[in-house]
Structures are given as structure tokens and as C-alpha cells.
Homo-oligomer: A and B are copies of this chain.
Amino acid sequence: MIDRVKGVRDFIGITAVLRQQALESIRKSYELFGFEPIETPSFEYLSLFTNKSGPEIESQLYSFEDKKGEKLALRPEHTISKLRVVSGNKSLVFPLRAYSIGNVWRYEDTKKGRWREFIQADIDIFGSADIKYDSEIIACIDFAIKRLGIENYKINVSNRKILTSLMESLKVEVEKIVQVLREIDKVHKVGLDEVIKRISELIGETKAEKVRDYLNGKEIPGIEGIKDVEYLISDLKKNYGIEGVYFDRSLVRGQDYYDGSIFEFEFTEGELKGVVLAGGGRYDKISMKFDSDFPISGGAIGFDVIMEVLVSNYKNKFYKTLCVLSVDDLETSRKIAASLRKEGLVTDIILEDTPLSKGLNYCNSKKIKYAIIVGKRDLKDNLVTVRDLESKREMKFKLDSLVEEIKNLI
């Protein structure tokens, strides 16, 4: 036998069903807010990624030569491909609301529990610098996550202008800013004191203590961006009814392209407490790399994390699918299946003579909730038995009213 490649996955059964349901739900949420799909190819010229993200990215890419010797790479994220499309299309009308849901590939160290193929579900609004569009992105992601039935999370927000402005006011040397920000990002992991100690070594104690003041919530005059954060929090409450949004002063969210609002959805309960369900922010200057000039606000749901949360909650769920099992009248069973499907009811049927026990085993393996058992003895009295595989309860319905009864049942 030949195995599956390391670091990628197969999905089958309950997990696969849940994944499709979650993907569809996210898509519907994005569409509800007026977002339209952008689909890009799975691979691009390697140079597109290395030109835009720097040559060091190649070590994380699946890059290869095609049969003509062209150097290609599987996309490691949606952003660069979307920017190629949007900046190359002069007929587009802004603001453009677009979503992209699909696989991305990264040559990651699999020991860390990371996957080499996974799904990202992005939304972006291209072409407006207005902060109200940041609200719209966050509200749309909030809607999508709530619609999946996930409620135990909080939204951390900040603005990249704040820390940039603080670094400038402290006259931190440009080449040290990235290192300082990286340390600030670790406050929740290693604690404030440890972070200040590390920063002191980089920029001296006096400046580090100013950073401590800011992280402790002290007003620092002349720092840009704080008003934006306050507006964002109040706007999300007022116009979308979203509470539970917090100014997280240590939020950095990666070192590159963000230059305005930034946000993270943080799960707050159980074993997965602390994981980031979604994140994003404003990146107004990135399009210049594509010889264009349009501001962008965007975000993405981490589909794998979402699935971890969902699967841990729904493991024992039965699906409201029906299965028609013939004990000894396949003709009638097929008629029943046809009439159920006509009403839009998801219906499986075993088309060969099968002992009842084997049929019920089949239903259980697929987490089908209702088995419709068609037997001669029942049919004599014009009846059909419906078995609820979850509660193990059995009901008898008249053949003529079966479809109606089942519609009431599910």
C-alpha cells in the first residue's frame, strides 16, 4: 500500500460532514454581508511570492518547476494572489467586498502539529480607508463564528499606529522596532515584567519603563491610534450590538503589512482556551507593491481551529438524515425514498435485500438519525415503522401520511 503524504489529511465520515457544513455556513455569513467570491489558482509563479514577501519565504513554500521549466509555487495564503487579481483589473468598482475560501499550502515542521495543507477563509474590503469598514470586517467574522454556534470568545483589538507612534516618540532605532514589538506580543505568555526586562536590554530601562506605562493603560499624550480603537469598540457596540470587544495594548499580530486596526478573536473556555479563532486588520500600503494604491481592511477565520472547537462539541451528534430500509419490500421502499427526496429531505436507501440488523448498523455508522423500516407485516396494515437511532424510540406512521409525519418530526 502507498500511504498518504506526511502533513496532509483525509476527511471522511462525521468530520467531513461537519467540515462541509461549517464551510457552507461561513460562506453564507460572508455573503450576507455583501461579500462576493474571488477564486484564484492554486499556484502562481514563484517570483510573485518572493518579490512581494521576500526571498526567505521560499523555505516555507511548495515550489516546483513545471514541464517547461517555469518556477511555480502553491499559494501559502490568499492575500498575494487576490492583490494580483484586484490590482490588475482596472474595471473593478471600489469598495470591493471579496471573500476567498480555499486551500493554502506551507512546508511547515509537522512535529508542531501544523498541517501542510489547510483552509483559510478570508474576507477583504478593497478601496476604502474608512474605519467603519474595519467594523464591518469584524462584525462579519463575528456573525460567521456565532452562526457556527461558537459563543465563548472575546475580541481583542488594537491599532498598529499606536505602537509605531510610541516607538517614534521614544526614538527607538528603526532596526530594533521589530524586535521590541515581537517581545511586546509575548506579554500574555511570559508576563509583563519579563517583557520589560527583555526590552530594557534592547532600548534601555528608561524607554522600557515608558512601554510599561503604556501597557499598564497609562495615557501617553501625542500617541496616534488610541482614538481609532475607542471608536471601533463603540461602533461595534452601537451599530452591530457586539459587546466583549477589548483594547489589548500588547496585541501586535505579526510584524509586517498591518498599519491600522488589528484584531483577534480569542477562544475563552475549556482545553482550547486562548487559541485564536480569527484575526486580521487594516493594511493600506501593501497594494503599492503591486503598482497600485488602494487601502484594504481584511480578516480570516482559521478554519482548522474552528473545526477543533466544533468537533469537540459535536462528536456525538446524529444527523437528521433518513435511511429507508427494506425488510422485504424494496419496491415500496424505493417509492418512499423518491417521495421523501421530492420534498427535499436528505434520504439514503439500501438497494439490496439486507437483514434489518445490518441496515441499522449502517445507519449508526453514518450517524443517520431516522431509519424508515419497510416490512411486509406493517404494510399489511398500511403502516411503516420509523426508528429514532438516537433515542432508540420507534413510531408507526400510516404509509399515506408518512412524508408529512416525517416533515413534522425533523
Contacts and interface: CB of A to CB of B under 8 A. Distances in A.
A345 B34 CA distance: 10
A143 B344 CA distance: 11
Interface residues of A, number: 89
A356 to B, nearest CB: 15
Q: How many copies does the complex hold?
A: 2
A272 to B, nearest CB: 22
Nearest to A91: B365
Interface string A116-128: 0100000000001
Nearest to A27: B20
B64 A36 contact: no
Given A10-B85, A350-B95, A341 B39 contact: no
Interface stretch (A44-52, A177-185, A197-205): A44-52
A31 B320 CA distance: 12
Interface stretch (A130-138, A212-220, A280-288): A130-138
Main secondary structure of the interface of A (DSSP, over half): mixed
A384 interface: no
Contact of A351 (B81, B88, B132, B344): B132
Contacts of A365: 92-93
Interface string A343-373: 0111111111000000001100110000000
Interface stretch (A1-9, A165-173, A395-403): A1-9
Contacts of A240: 338
Interface in A1-56: 1-6, 8-13, 16-17, 19-20, 24, 27, 31-34, 36-45, 47-48, 51
Interface of A: 1-6, 8-13, 16-17, 19-20, 24, 27, 31-34, 36-45, 47-48, 51, 59, 62, 64-67, 70, 72, 74, 81, 84-85, 87-89, 92-93, 95, 97-98, 103, 105, 107, 117, 128, 130, 132-133, 136, 143, 239-241, 290-291, 321, 323, 334-335, 338, 341, 344-352, 361-362, 365-366
28 contacts: A1-B84, A1-B290, A1-B291, A2-B48, A2-B84, A4-B41, A5-B43, A5-B45, A10-B85, A11-B38, A12-B38, A12-B92, A16-B39, A24-B27, A32-B344, A34-B321, A34-B323, A41-B117, A42-B74, A42-B105, A43-B117, A64-B64, A95-B351, A97-B348, A130-B352, A132-B351, A132-B352, A241-B338
